[in-house]
Amino acid sequence: MSKIFDLIRQALPELAVTDDASALVAYGKDWTHHWTPAPCLVAWPRSIEEVQEIVRFAAKHDVAIVPSGGRTGLSGGAVAKDGEIVLSLDKLNRILSFNDVDQTMTVEAGAVLQVVQEAAAQHGLQYPVDLGARGSCTIGGNIATNAGGIRVLKYGNTREWIAGITIVNAQGEVVELNKGLIKNSSGYDLRHLMIGSEGTLGIIVQAELKLTKPLPESQVMLLALPDFASVVQAFTSLRAGLSLQAFEFFTDVALKRVIEHGASNPFDDTYPYYVVTEFDADEEGALKLFESGLEQGWIVDGALSASNEHKVKFWHLRESITESIAPLKPYKNDISIRISRLRDFLSDAEVLFARNYPDFEVIWFGHIGDGNLHISITKPTALSAEEFATHCAAATNELAALITTHGGSISAEHGIGLLKRDYLSSTRSDEEIAMMQAVKAALDPAGLLNPGKIFAA
Ligand code: FAD
Ligand code: MLT
Ligand code: ZN
């Protein structure tokens, strides 16, 4: 038992805490696997007051806090490797209220995304942020990473859907940000500062979410394409002719991994690129575009959903990529490039990998409609884990240089966390980083909240 564990039990006897070894491992990590989890304890506050008590306890005993949601993060933001307190929002997970007139719903930060989506649907409305981790990720984690997902193309990132946030700050005070207002020109919008702050500026305890009309009836098309230029061509053509809800791509290597994981191959042949796209139902328009794509050669095969079962099957090919490759412990990149530069970026990156890392299996997929490329690299069997990590760090350095050249970002939606910390300057200027550090120092001078994430502590 750690000293801190004894002290917190004495100071806050009602608080749910553990230092059980298996809980420390489970709660000290997210979906990354690069660090050894080593928190001193896990605490599960049941009220905002308990969150405040934990923050004040941590400040008094100079121990850091890692705010923890569903731990589905992909950049190590929720990793606790240095004796921190993991403050889990698991027990603060209620749907608190629905406001019919404002079309908002207030939830606790630990509410799971899918539960929130289902609660909105019960009121005939939609919370439109959606991602593959919907069954486990939390609203607090989504806000802290400004999560994107598969419908950004139509609805934008999490940021667009947050009417107000309640936080506990590093001083243990409860602060309400924006109070659900649509218009509020009264100084800095601290709500937006919290969104994407990865647990480094405050602990989100509640959020008022904006809701909207349900998605119109939709259809899904699965396309096979000859090259990446055709993926971009298909996107611009389908965007012009249909009302797109999502437009996602993946490569033959990704499909191979998904099939190995149990999916069945919908095509008789293999093709270099695939697209799953969802749009407001328009069979005639979709088939016309499909035909013209076939004629002009930017589509080589495909199918249009004729049932809900087809839709689920097509989406499964895209949405199960992360899970299918997880056992291979891939090194992941999450890159943002403006759509008009995607082609040039990808061809430069392919040259880079072919020239310097010919043994890497590089799995490309992502949200083309948002200019968001996921690049996952699996470990060649000939390399040890350490050698692989060294090679991936070198490759990311080179990718980061390309990102700077193409004016992109090292993280589109997963956040910087620990994984991308060393590459922040590929995206942000020295002046921006200095301003961010000044904000951190002003709001959390003792470095209590998630130190070492985004930038070194
Ligand atoms: P965690 O992983 O627990 O934490 C993430 C960060 O938020 C950490 O820095 C943590 O300290 C902080 N945090 C958590 N809760 C709070 C809180 N209450 N207050 C303050 N800080 C907090 N991401 C996308 O953006 N788009 C995708 O399409 C997508 N697809 C995914 C698919 C799969 C299969 C998986 C496993 C992950 C995917 N992700 C995706 C990544 C991940 O789901 C998101 O980053 C998600 O927002 C993390 O939520 P979480 O509750 O799991 O947060
Ligand atoms: C996705 O879009 O599926 C994700 O963000 C997850 C990943 O990059 O693996
Ligand atoms: Zn993604």
- Sequence-distant (≥ 6) Cβ neighbours of residue 242 within 8 angstroms: 279, 280, 282, 285, 286, 289
Q: What is the pLDDT of residue 168?
A: 99
Helix extents (H) in 195-339: 228-241, 252-260, 283-296, 308-319, 321-325
Pocket test of ligand 2: the residue of 134, 250, 322 to mutate, having most ligand atoms within 8 Å of its CB, is: 322
Q: What is the pLDDT of residue 98?
A: 98
Locate the domains of the chain by residue range. 3-88, 95-210, 218-322, 329-422
Distance 72 CA to ligand 3 centre (A): 12
CB atoms within 10 A of CB 134: 21
The most distant pair of C-alpha atoms in the chain lies apart, rounded to whole Å, by: 74
Asked if CATH classification 3.30.465.10 holds for the domain at 95-210, the reply, yes or no, is yes
- Ligand nearest the Cα of residue 370 is 3
DSSP string for 345-410: HHHHHHHHHHHH-TT-EEEEEEEGGGTEEEEEEEPPTTS-HHHHHHHHHHHHHHHHHHHHHTT-BS
Q: Which fold has domain 329-422?
A: Alpha-Beta Plaits (3.30.70)
pLDDT less than 70: residues of the chain? 1
Q: What is the pLDDT of residue 1?
A: 60
CA angle 8, 14, 17 (to 5 degrees): 50
Domains 218-322 and 329-422 share a fold: yes
Helix extents (H) in 95-227: 113-122, 139-145, 152-155, 190-194
Distance 52 CA to ligand 3 centre (A): 33
Class of the 3-88 domain?
A: alpha beta
CA angle 199, 105, 243 (to 5 degrees): 90
Structure tokens given for 98 = 């629905």
**Nearest-atom index, ligand 1, CA of 89:** 18
Distance 74 CA to ligand 1 centre (A): 7
Exposure of 260 in the CB half-sphere (CA atoms within 13 A): 14
Ligand 2, residues at Cβ distance < 6 Å: 74, 132, 322, 332, 334, 374
**Nearest-atom index, ligand 1, CA of 131:** 28
Q: What is the pLDDT of residue 396?
A: 96
Quote the CA–CA distance of 155 and 369 in Å, as a whole number.
Answer: 12
> Cα 439 vs. chain centroid, distance in angstroms?
23
Instruction: Please write the tens of the pLDDT for every residue from 104-143.
Output: 999 999 999 999 999 999 999 999 999 999 999 999 999 9
Q: What is the pLDDT of residue 33?
A: 87
CATH tag for 218-322 (out of 3.20.20.70, 3.20.20.140, 3.30.70.2190, 3.90.1170.40): 3.30.70.2190
Quote the CA–CA distance of 120 and 138 in Å, as a whole number.
Answer: 15
